[in-house]
Amino acid sequence: MGSNYPYERWYLAAGILLSLAAGASPFLIAPEFQSVYRKSNLDLPLITSLALRFYPVLLALPLALVAVWFLLPNDMNRGKVVWAIGIGSIFAVPAAYLYIIYLPIR
């Protein structure tokens, strides 16, 4: 990291925090739906049952961003890339998770 990119670490930290929030958001949603689906004995689609079973895996999203940080060349704005992925994940992960969870209800 050279002097050309003085805020790279701040972008990295912001991207990691945003992706951590995105990865933690299913923890607010999944337990409620698990109890509802268990009580109603619905036959869940495969993607919904996988989302309810493996939602803690989303907490590894910040680790993936750290891997992106180290895999990108130093002369790129890699902090901004990680930040952009974090911004995208804070919107995409909760929206996709809610869509997947609501599939059996439609």
The residue ranges of every structural domain in the chain are: 23-105
Tokens of 67: 């891997």
What is the mean predicted confidence (pLDDT) over 3-20? Answer: 85
Provide the CA 85 distance to its chain's centre, in angstroms.
10
The confidence score (pLDDT) of residue 1 equals: 46
The phi and psi torsions of 103 (rounded to 5 degrees) equal -55, -45
The confidence score (pLDDT) of residue 75 equals: 67
**Is the pLDDT assigned to residue 13 strictly greater than 50?**
yes
- What is the rounded distance in angstroms from the CA atom of residue 106 to the CA atom of residue 104? 6
Q: What is the pLDDT of residues 36-75, one digit of tens each?
A: 888 888 788 999 999 999 999 999 999 999 999 999 887 6
- What is the rounded distance in angstroms from the CA atom of residue 106 to the CA atom of residue 101? 10
Numbers of helices and strands, H then E, in the chain: 5, 0
C-alpha torsion sign, points 89, 61, 51, 30: negative
**Is the pLDDT assigned to residue 100 strictly greater than 50?**
yes
Confidence tier at 90 by pLDDT (50, 70, 90): very high
pTM equals 0.83
